[in-house]
Amino acid sequence: MNSVTAVAPVITAANDALRRDFPSKPFAIRHKLVGHPLLTLPRIAALAAELPRDLIEYNSGKVAISQDPDAIPSVDLDPVEVVKSIETAGAWMVLKRIENSPEYRKLLEDTLLSVARARGFNSLLDAGFEQVEGFLFVSSPNSTTPFHLDSEDNFFVHIHGEKFFTILDNTDRSIVDDDEIERSMTKHRNLKYDESFAPRGKEFHLFEGDGCYVPYQWPHWVRTAGFYSISMAITWKTREVRRLNDLHFFNSMLRGIGLPQQPPGKRPVRDALKLAFYRGVTATIKPLRSSMAMRRVLRRVALGKRANYYLKGREL
Ligand SMILES: [Fe+2]
C-alpha cells in the first residue's frame, strides 16, 4: 500500500472500532461537523427550496416505533416552512440525495476521505466508499423515526439536539426475516417492532458531535428528546452492497408477477444470471430517470402502487 497522506480526522471512533468492528458491527463515533455552515437551519431551508419534491419526505413526528405505513399522520406545511418552524411544527423530515448539490457532495466526500485515510487508504475508491449519498434529517422535539432498515452503510452524524438511536442485531434474521427485508427495501421501509426485540438492541444516546456507524440492513429506530434536531446520514454502497440490492429489487419484481425467489446467497449461479439480466434492463431505462415524472412512473411499474406513498395527494 502507498503511504497515506495525513489529514485531520472528521470522524473518530474509540477502541480502534474503525478497524476492528467496521463494517460488520455498529459502534459509536465522534465527529467535527457541528457548526458547519451547510448544516444550519437557514441553509437547510434553502436546500429544501432547491430540491425536487420527490427528494423530500416529511410527516408528523408523532408516530409509533411500529408504525403502519398507511396511517402516518401528515403535516400541512410546505417543506421550507417545516424547516423554518421545526421547533414547533411537530414534524419529521428527510432531505434525500443531498450529494446532488456540489457543496454538500464535497462535505460528504471530505468526511469519508478522512475515514478512508484513518483506515490506511488514499482514496474513497480504494476504501470501498462508492456511490456516496447524503440524507439530512430535521425533526421536531419528541419525534420518532419508526423501526426500519436501510440498504446502505451509514455514518450517522448528529449535529443539534439530543437523540436516541437504537440498532438491532439481526444477523440471524430472527427479528426481520428475508421476506420482510425485501419488502422493506421495495415497498415501504417500516418494519413491525415488538418489545421482545429490545434486549438485542444497542442504544446510542447522541448529543451534538456524536454519531454511530449503522451497518448495511441493520434495523433501527430513532427518537428525539426535548429539542429540535438536525442529523445527517453519510452513506455509501460497496460493490457487494449494490449486488445484493439489485438482487433484492429483481426478486421483488419477480415476486410481483407470482414468482417468489430465494434471497440473495442461497443460489449463487441463479443470482449471477438474474443480476446480469436485471442490470441489462436497468441500464436501458436509466436515461429516463432524469425526469421526476418518469421516476414516478418507473417506481410505480417496478415496485407497485404504493411506491410513491410519500408523494400522495401531490400533483407533480
Ligand atoms: Fe435509517
Annotated domain spans of the chain: 11-237, 241-311
Phi-psi group of 142: left, alpha or beta (phi > 0 → left; psi -120 to 50 → alpha; rest → beta)? left
* Count of beta carbons in the 10 Å neighbourhood of residue 257: 6
What is residue 285's predicted lDDT score, i.e. its pLDDT?
72
Query: If you measure from the C-alpha of residue 163 to the centroid of ligand 1, how many angstroms do you get, rounded to a whole number?
Result: 13
Rounded Cα–Cα distance for residues 33 and 196 (Å): 36
What is residue 98's predicted lDDT score, i.e. its pLDDT?
98
Highest mean pLDDT among 24-33, 60-69, 179-188, 246-255: 24-33
Rounded Cα–Cα distance for residues 164 and 231 (Å): 12
**Cell triple for residue 271?**
443470482
Query: If you measure from the C-alpha of residue 3 to the centroid of ligand 1, how many angstroms do you get, rounded to a whole number?
Result: 35
Query: If you measure from the C-alpha of residue 149 to the centroid of ligand 1, how many angstroms do you get, rounded to a whole number?
Result: 6
Query: If you measure from the C-alpha of residue 248 to the centroid of ligand 1, how many angstroms do you get, rounded to a whole number?
Result: 18
Mean pLDDT rounded to a whole number for the chain: 90
Return the percentage of the chain with pLDDT > 90, whole number. Answer: 69
Is there a contact between 156 and 165 (Cβ–Cβ < 8 Å)? yes
Of 54-58, 140-144, 166-170, 271-275, give the lowest mean pLDDT range.
271-275
Query: If you measure from the C-alpha of residue 113 to the centroid of ligand 1, how many angstroms do you get, rounded to a whole number?
Result: 22
Query: If you measure from the C-alpha of residue 91 to the centroid of ligand 1, how many angstroms do you get, rounded to a whole number?
Result: 16
Query: If you measure from the C-alpha of residue 255 to the centroid of ligand 1, how many angstroms do you get, rounded to a whole number?
Result: 25
The tens digit of pLDDT for each residue in 22-67 reads 999 999 999 999 999 999 999 999 999 999 999 999 999 999 899 8
Of 17-26, 37-46, 244-253, give the lowest mean pLDDT range.
244-253
Query: If you measure from the C-alpha of residue 4 to the centroid of ligand 1, how many angstroms do you get, rounded to a whole number?
Result: 32
Radius of gyration of the chain (CA): 19
What is residue 113's predicted lDDT score, i.e. its pLDDT?
95
Query: If you measure from the C-alpha of residue 90 to the centroid of ligand 1, how many angstroms do you get, rounded to a whole number?
Result: 19
306 has a pLDDT exceeding 80: no
Is there a contact between 220 and 214 (Cβ–Cβ < 8 Å)? yes
Query: If you measure from the C-alpha of residue 151 to the centroid of ligand 1, how many angstroms do you get, rounded to a whole number?
Result: 9
Strands 27-31 and 133-139: unpaired
Rounded Cα–Cα distance for residues 127 and 119 (Å): 8
Query: If you measure from the C-alpha of residue 83 to the centroid of ligand 1, how many angstroms do you get, rounded to a whole number?
Result: 20
What is residue 316's predicted lDDT score, i.e. its pLDDT?
36
* pTM of this structure: 0.86
Query: If you measure from the C-alpha of residue 220 to the centroid of ligand 1, how many angstroms do you get, rounded to a whole number?
Result: 6
Fold of 11-237: Jelly Rolls (2.60.120)
Using a CB cutoff of 5 Å, list residues around ligand 1, an ion: 150
Beta strands in the chain (DSSP E): 11-12, 27-31, 56-60, 91-95, 133-139, 144-148, 153-160, 163-168, 201-206, 210-214, 220-224, 229-236
